[in-house]
Amino acid sequence: KNKYFGYIDLNNVSFSRLKSNKYKIMTPIKYKSNNLYVEGLSIEKLADDNQTPFYCYSEKYIEDQYQALKSAFDMEAKIFYSMKANSNLSILKLLLNKGSGIDVVSGGEIERALNAGATGKDIIYAGVGKTDEELTYAIKTKIHCINVESQSELTRINDICEKLNTKQNISLRVNPDVDAKTHVKITTGKAENKFGIEFDYIKSMYAIASELPNVNIIGISVHIGSQITNLKPFKKAFQIIYDLINDLRGLGHKIKHVDLGGGLGVTYSDDDNVPTFKEYASLIQSIFGNLNIEVYIEPGRLLVANSGLLVTRVVDIKTTSQKTFVIVDAAMNDFIRPTLYNSYHEILPVKNNLGTSNKLYDIVGPICETGDYFAKNRNMNSVQVGSLIAIKSVGAYGSVLSSNYNSRPQIAEIIVQNDKYEVIRERVEVKDILARERIANWL
């Protein structure tokens, strides 16, 4: 048993990973007698009851991840779940029940959080391009804090508050110009990115904010990117923020909290090497532990990515002179990360009884796009037409990025608790898509 991460399943961990202390908590997704299970429920049972493809999530995994992260800190650190990773109401409610707050990036996400049971004080509102309508909704909701991205946004917040005869808590988001060394599409802390206020202007922005009668400065915010697998970029950014907090306090600004964003990476394969929760927490504590300040963190994928499977069925196996294609009934409209980010996701046969294979497969969907794939040149144990396969680590940025491209219905989401499950989002049907459209009267 590991002090911070719970029990370790020795059947699924190499001794080298144990030695390096990189393995976090026991996976709830594993084979039992060659049948793939999520917690105490077989995937085959789920597929008997529900049309493929579908998403399923382990409740226990999410709870364990949250608790492991919370327990890694020896100081008080408030977690605000970044709901853009997976915004299903059940996921939000699960984390709210554990004591998490919610990090939102749109008016729609505020409404989702409230519907899941959050109150305004549970919510931090981040992101560029907040409209007046969204800001008005946020202010009326009395959310805990708005992370401000520009002088224009700051002025608009003040003006809206004046009309509503209220004040709003704010922090300013700093762009520290730190390269997170992650995928170019998910780095957010470089000067060339659209996020945050340039470091050279941040002190003058705090001076401007302090003169506005309808805003209340309570903190400072930074977020440098997602899926960061090395602590060095965090350390560089956090040290910059530490010095800045001291400077701002010296200028008379009351900085009560520091919002450090999220971004700590997760393991998508056994080859991934990411910092432990304890290493991450220790870094934060070593920099901010003596500041007498509240620390907020905003994990998203860290809590949910490895909770999820995309279960899909093999509809054809096609061999050409160049390739062997395993064609499944899921597609890029269901799960776009492999083609959008060239991301790796482990793929497993649900029933692992057809033997090993020395072939390399492309696992692809039916959409008329060459980019419609889940894996290329992938070694996988044998499957046949009709076999179920499971794509792992899809709990984050899976369902939330799905669409109805090719008039394909968005698929169901299921949550598993021990040996029972519940459908937490119904599958959309084509008739539901068509019901939202109209043929123009003149046609």
Helices (H), 55-169: 59-71, 89-98, 107-115, 132-140, 151-164
Distance of CA 265 to the CA centre of its chain: 10
Catalytic residue check, 368: yes
CA distance linking residue 393 with residue 10, whole number of Å: 20
Residues 407, 367: contact at Cβ < 8 Å?
Answer: no
Residue with tokens 């680590």: 393
Cβ partners under 8 Å of residue 430, min gap 6? 407, 409
Contact by Cβ (8 Å): 145, 191: no
Q: Which of 56, 145, 161, 368 is catalytic?
A: 368
12-34 core/surface letters (b: 16 or more CB in 10 A; e: else): eeeeeeeeeebbbbbbbbeeeee
Coil, helix or strand at residue 95? helix
Half-sphere exposure of 17 (CA within 13 A, CB side): 20
Count the Cβ atoms, other than its own, within 10 Å of residue 385: 11
Distances (CA, A) of 298 to 62, 152, 243, 353: 15, 25, 21, 41
What are the residue numbers of the active site? 368
